[in-house]
Amino acid sequence: MRETFIDTTTAILDEDPRTALVVADISAASFTTALRRHPDRVFNVGIREQLMAGVGGGLALTGMRPYLHSYAPFLIDRAYEQIKLDLGHQETGAVLVSIGASYDAAAEGYTHQSPGDVALLDTLDGWTVHVPGHRDEVAALLRAAARHDDRVYVRLSTQENGRAYPDAGGLRVLRRGGPLVVAVGPMLDPVLEATLGMDVTVAYTNTPRPLDTDGLRTLVEGEVVVVEPYLAGTSAHLVGQALNGLPHRALHLGVGRAEIRRYGGRQDHARAHGLDPAGLRRSISAFLL
């Protein structure tokens, strides 16, 4: 996904003179060609992510369409106040593109993990959040974001599904059965494996914000499980609002709040949080008993 972002953004910079790119050292070497071609629209501010957000807000005020990029904890967690003020308060837009996700860089420690990034953006108004599940979903999302001035967050990961669903902005049903299981982004393959042989409906989305509330109300018939690759329960308030007035039970699965201090790798963290197929099957089966 990261390579697709680099290639697509480089092409967008070539094609659209309104676009700009601001990085904070991360991936800067991969944009050497873009910097050479567009030195007035490609900026590396060094390891100063708050400044990156501020520069992006300033560019947006001039009518530019800035793309900002770093690891999720640096881009969202560290620069949260500048995102709130220099984008939200100023009523400007930008495209924030992260790598690292919740624990892709597990071996780097907690500094490089951001399970709470989407929850942080949920405290702010007007954000569209894309969580692609495959590299072939990334380019279309980035290109679509260049055509407007809204605030957009694209959360990239090294975890990928086996196939792409580029038209999965709303809830796309991939398996029909009983209670609904919603898989967000790269959680689709683990969910499909976990629910093999179970009488459930599986729906996929790579755009959890705005949540497809109409699709959710149509598909839920009493029970719903939401599986997200970030903090467990991040979408609980939206699911509750969408299903208000409808009898239902909901289970929200995702990354737990307890820090995993034995570094390991991404797969180790998935098992520890119960987000591997075996862990998901245990949780979903217990809920649906």
Average pLDDT over residues 93-114: 96
Write down the domain spans for the chain: 1-155, 172-288
Please choose, from the candidates 253, 207, 211, 212, the residue with its C-alpha nearest in 3D space to the C-alpha of residue 229. Answer: 253
What integer is the mean pLDDT of 13-22? 98
The pLDDT of 116-142, averaged and rounded, is: 98
Residues 220-253: tens digit of each pLDDT = 999 999 999 999 999 999 999 999 999 999 999 9
**Do residues 96 and 66 make contact, with C-beta atoms less than 8 angstroms apart?**
no
pLDDT exceeds 90 at position 102: yes
Q: What is the mean pLDDT of the chain?
A: 97
Name the nearest CA neighbour of 127 among 169, 167, 95, 90: 95
Q: pLDDT by residue (tens digit) across 39-91?
A: 999 999 999 999 999 999 999 999 999 999 999 999 999 999 999 999 999 99
Cα angle: 114, vertex 115, 121; to 5 degrees: 85
The pLDDT value recorded for residue 269 is 96
Per-residue pLDDT at 105 exceeds 90: yes
Q: Do domains 1-155 and 172-288 have the same CATH topology?
A: yes
**Which tens digit of pLDDT belongs to each residue from 39-52?**
999 999 999 999 99
Q: Was domain 1-155 assigned CATH 3.40.50.970? A: yes
Cis peptide before 210 (omega within 30 of 0): yes
- Check whether 168 has a pLDDT greater than 80: no
Task: Grade residue 263 by pLDDT with cuts at 50, 70 and 90.
Answer: confident
Domain at 172-288, CATH class: alpha beta
Sign of CA dihedral 213, 218, 222, 223: negative
Task: Give residue 262's pLDDT.
Answer: 83
* The pLDDT value given to residue 169: 78
